[in-house]
Amino acid sequence: MPVGRRLPGGRIVYTGCGTSFHAAQTGGEAVQALEASLAPPAADALVCISHEGTTAKTIAAAAAFPGRRWLVTGTAESPLAELCDEVVVVAPELEQSWCHTASYTCAVAGLAALRGEDVSWLPEAVERALVQDVGAPPVGRVLVAGSGQAWPTAQEAVLKLREGAHLAAEAHHTEQLLHGHLAAIDESVRAYVLDGPRGADAVAALAALGCETTLVPSRHPVVDIVFFQLLTLAAAEARGVDPDRIHRDDPRWQAARDAYS
């Protein structure tokens, strides 16, 4: 973990795709890599997050950016690393599962360390989180809501449930959920609300609709996501699917992935 390194001063913008974009959002101001490639942000430095350093749109974002480029990654050598002025390896090895979990927490912790945050307590906190009881896994439509520092976690939680367990899951910013989205929610939805601003109001509204709702404690993005990683494993086991292949062990989904570059 880069505990002795710090990001430069000035305006910093973070970027990435998928899981890496969710990690990017925990760092501060974040722009999805496609958008950053189309309109490079006005910033002093661009921090790219990419576990393998091969994500095409993140490479394009780095190539388009005129200032200093940093990379937070799992490997020192990659096409993206060649474009960056600073390469920070935060993972002990490249994760083999395509449903990135350890690489996500490593990236989030690495970004926190680069900002000067004390991350020494996180390993023990994650160990404790790994033995928590997440309850019975959801079997149908799932909703995850969060706000503030928990908003990236809500997005990443839904991505894991979709990738790893193939569940129809949706992420809502807590405030947005209360401004219209409730119209399409009913008692068939299994809901999880990350504790934070307006969390109690969201729980009350969902309970009024008859949704089974869990209020999930929120402490730090590295720790909070573990609940949903465990939930994904439980749901994948219950559904009899391989969470590591993100549905690409089925020819239809592999064909869908092969349809674009």
Mean pLDDT of 172-192: 98
CA 18 to chain centre: 7
Q: Which of 19, 55, 15 lies closest to 164, judged by CA?
A: 19
Q: pLDDT confidence of 3, banded at 50, 70, 90? A: confident
Q: What is the pLDDT of residue 2?
A: 77
Residues 57-90 pLDDT 10s: 999 999 999 999 999 999 999 999 999 999 999 9
The torsion defined by the Cα of 106, 108, 111 and 113, in degrees rounded to 10, comes to: -70
Q: pLDDT confidence of 176, banded at 50, 70, 90? A: very high
Per the CB < 8 A criterion, the answer to whether 74 and 106 are in contact is: yes
Answering whether pTM is above 0.95, one says: yes
Mean pLDDT of 190-213: 98
CA torsion sign for 84, 88, 90, 91 is positive
Tokens of 29: 């101001």
Helix (H) / strand (E) containing 48: strand 45-49
The Cα angle at residue 46 between residues 226 and 110, in degrees rounded to 5: 30
Q: How far apart are CA 11 and CA 67, in angstroms?
A: 11
Q: At a CB cut-off of 8 Å and minimum separation 6, what does 196 contact?
A: 146, 147, 148, 149, 150, 174, 218
Q: What is the pLDDT of residue 1?
A: 67
Per the CB < 8 A criterion, the answer to whether 51 and 108 are in contact is: no
Mean pLDDT of 192-201: 97
Q: Which amino acid is at 30?
A: A
Residues 211-235 pLDDT 10s: 999 999 999 999 999 999 999 999 9
